[in-house]
Amino acid sequence: MFIDILGFKIFNDSKEELIKYIEKFEKINLISGNPEILFNGLNDKLLNKCFKNDNSVIIPDGVGTVIASRLLKNPVKEKIAGIEVMKELLKKANLENKSIYLLGAKEEVIQKCAQNIENEFNNLNICGLHNGYFDLNNCNSIIKEIQEKKPWAIFIAMGCPRQEYFIEKYINKLPCKIFMGVGGSFDIFSGMSKRAPRWMISLGLEWLYRVIKEPWRIKRLTSIPKFLVKVLKYNS
Ligand code: UDP
């Protein structure tokens, strides 16, 4: 059910199985393991600890992670995009009348994101939300609110490593079952950013679409070849 990439355990089954697997946990931290995040995890002690926790499950998000698994001759069954897992969890919350908390992104983005989620999922209860611009070490009012509202799942969209630092710091203090860092997903749910067209996603070119739309991302892409070189060295 898992493969090893550079010492990280990567989930190796379908999205549907992942949703079932979540039930086994009292608390789970779902990590979208794209090459950039995994590469950061090699160099940052706190991230490394977070990714290796017993309650962390890393999903193979991004074509670079799929290529890495192939280079290691242990290919993952499928790429699992974090945003699609978030959608499945929203569906589940809707079906089972569960509550969620949204944390991250700019104020206008999170407001619009919550509105769109509520319009699409009538039975789902967004029990609270907060934008992602606050001091991670001084956010008692947010922590208190989440403790009081007891959401089933909390989605944290503050980019890596900020969202992971939040989770690592507060996971044991917050009464949620599911923690998930979702990067720029609120921007997409809000309609303010668009996901790549389907054909680009299926060709593994989502990264290219994002660079065309947001050229400043080009610098961040350098972690993909660096990550793959590490994988090749690990393999030899
Ligand atoms: N963000 C935030 N707080 C910060 C910095 C960023 O909430 O201090 C939000 C930002 O508004 C955006 C998301 O985090 O919605 C960044 O997502 P990005 O696209 O960088 O993440 P990726 O999908 O690449 O992991």
pLDDT digits (tens, 9 = 90+) for 26-70: 999 999 999 999 999 999 999 999 999 999 999 999 899 999 999
Beta-bridged to residue 12, according to DSSP, are: none
Is residue 163 in some structural domain?
yes
The pTM score is 0.95
Most ligand 1 atoms within 8 A of CB, residue of 187, 209, 211 to mutate: 187
* Residue 7 lies inside a defined structural domain of this protein: no
In a domain, 190, yes or no: yes
Please answer whether residues 61 and 34 qualify as being in contact, where contact means their C-beta atoms are separated by less than 8 angstroms: yes
* 181 belongs to a structural domain: yes
How many folded domains does the chain comprise? 1
Omega of the bond leading into 161 within 30 degrees of 0 (cis): yes
- pLDDT-based confidence at residue 211 (cuts at 50, 70, 90): confident
Q: Is 184 within the bounds of a domain?
A: yes
Instruction: Report the separation in Å between the CA atom of 79 and the middle of ligand 1, taken as the mean of its atom positions.
Output: 22
pLDDT tens for residues 189-203? 999 998 899 999 888
Whether residue 15 contacts residue 78, with contact meaning beta carbons closer than 8 Å, is answered with yes
Residue 208 forms part of a structural domain: yes
Q: How far is CA 26 from the centre of its chain?
A: 19
pLDDT of the residue at 210: 87
Higher per-residue pLDDT: 224 or 134? 134
In a domain, 79, yes or no: yes
Tell me the residue range of the domain where 166 lies: 26-234
The residue whose CB lies within 8 Å of the most ligand 1 atoms, and thus the one to mutate among 158, 163, 219, is 158
Q: Tell me the percentage of the chain whose pLDDT exceeds 70.
A: 99
Q: The domain that contains 209 carries what CATH number?
A: 3.40.50
User: Distance between CA 212 and CA 198 in Å, rounded?
Assistant: 16
Domain membership of residue 8 (yes or no) is no
Centre of ligand 1 from the C-alpha of residue 106, in Å: 9
Alpha-carbon distance values, 213 to 9, 188, 190, 196 (Å): 32, 13, 17, 10
